[in-house]
Amino acid sequence: MSHLTQEEFILNYYGELDSRAHLDLCDECRGELTRLAKILDQVKPAEVPEPDAGFEERVWNRVSWRLRGEKHRSRGRRATWMAAAAAMLAIAFLAGVFVTRRDTPGPQIATTTTTTQPNQPVQPAGSTTQQQRDRILLVVVGDHFDDSERVLVELTNLKPDGEIDISTERDRAEELLASNRLYRTTAEERGEENVATLLDELEPVLMQIAHAPSQVSADELRSMQKRVEAKGLVFKLRVVRAGVRSESKLPKQPTI
């Protein structure tokens, strides 16, 4: 007569297998099952401490807080992508104008030349395109500086007291950060040194705000405010923005 395997003893103990017919006849297997049962019977679940009366509310508060955070981040990400897409479109437009004009065939230039009044200085097509591109870039960047200044001013005006909610500034900084990178690269390529330098200084500050938690301590807020003030960013933004605005409106002096 073959005996039960160790696995069969376990299955018998848990009632997943019924070997009573064999066990009734086999003292050895019955003894082994008894030994196994004596050990497993000792393994009782640890007593579960009953949570306090406010348990359910605490769970809900934490769960709802995290769900709100997720929804908020998801909206923020969407807005960031939209901002980045808008910046990309502006840049793509600039690049498009540039490529189209550069590839303009000869006869068109000839037409332009023939319509030019004899006393007017001749303006090369490439130069006009450059001006258009620069002006569009300056308009877009001017708006970007406006928005950035607003975020920085709001942040520096917050009172460092207790836990401070900076979620609005943080989300706005997150949106601006994506565009900032694109504008900086474009400004560098276009040789707009002042604009590129300011965007470069702005980037780490926006990054610090964008990566901060929605609630910050007074010390954390002070550190952010100090950084903004130490760089004199708000002032620089105003100065450069004013220059950018006037430059984008004024017709450029034609070059020969």
d(CA 108, CA 30): 104
Does position 57 interact with another protein (CB under 8 A)? The reply is yes
Q: How far is the CB of 45 from another protein (least distance, A)?
A: 4
Q: What is each CA distance from 178 to 72, 207, 210, 243, in whole angstroms?
A: 17, 10, 10, 23
- Residue 51 or 96: the one with the smaller Cβ distance to another protein is 51
Residue with tokens 């019924």: 18
7 binds another protein (CB under 8 A): yes
CB of 56 to another protein, least distance (A): 4
Contacts of 244 (CB under 8 A, 6+ apart): 138, 141, 142, 145, 195
In the complex with another protein, the residue whose CB is nearer, 36 or 234, is 36
Query: From the CB of 1, what's the least distance to another protein, in Å?
Result: 23
Q: Which is nearer to another protein, 27 or 57 (CB)?
A: 57
CA distance 144 to 202: 11
Q: Which of 1, 21, 27, 46 binds another protein (CB under 8 A)?
A: 46
Tell me whether residue 56 or residue 161 sits nearer to another protein (CB atom).
56
Among 14, 118, 219, 250, binds another protein (CB under 8 A): 14
Q: Collect all residues with Cβ–Cβ distance below 8 Å to 93 and sequence separation of at least 6.
A: 136
- Please report the DSSP string for 37-90 in residue order: HHHHHH--PPPPPPP-TTHHHHHHHHHHHHHHHHHHHHHHHHHHHHHHHHHHHH
48 binds another protein (CB under 8 A): yes
Task: Give the whole-angstrom CA distance, residue 251 versus residue 44.
Answer: 87
**211 sits near another protein (criterion: CB under 8 A):** no
Give the nearer residue to another protein in terms of CB position, either 57 or 219: 57
Residue 48 CB, nearest distance to another protein (Å)? 5
Q: Is there binding between residue 77 and another protein (CB under 8 A)? A: no
- Dihedral, CA atoms, 214, 219, 220, 225, nearest 10 degrees? 110
Instruction: Tell me the CB-side half-sphere exposure of residue 163, using CA atoms within 13 A.
Output: 4
Query: Where in 168-207 is the site for another protein (CB under 8 A)?
Result: none
36 binds another protein, rule: CB under 8 A: yes
Asked if 54 touches another protein (CB under 8 A), the answer is no
Q: Indicate whether 64 belongs to the interface with another protein (CB under 8 A).
A: yes
> Which residues sit at the interface with another protein, rule CB under 8 A?
6-7, 10-11, 14, 16, 35-36, 38-40, 42-46, 48-49, 51, 55-57, 59-60, 62-64, 66-67
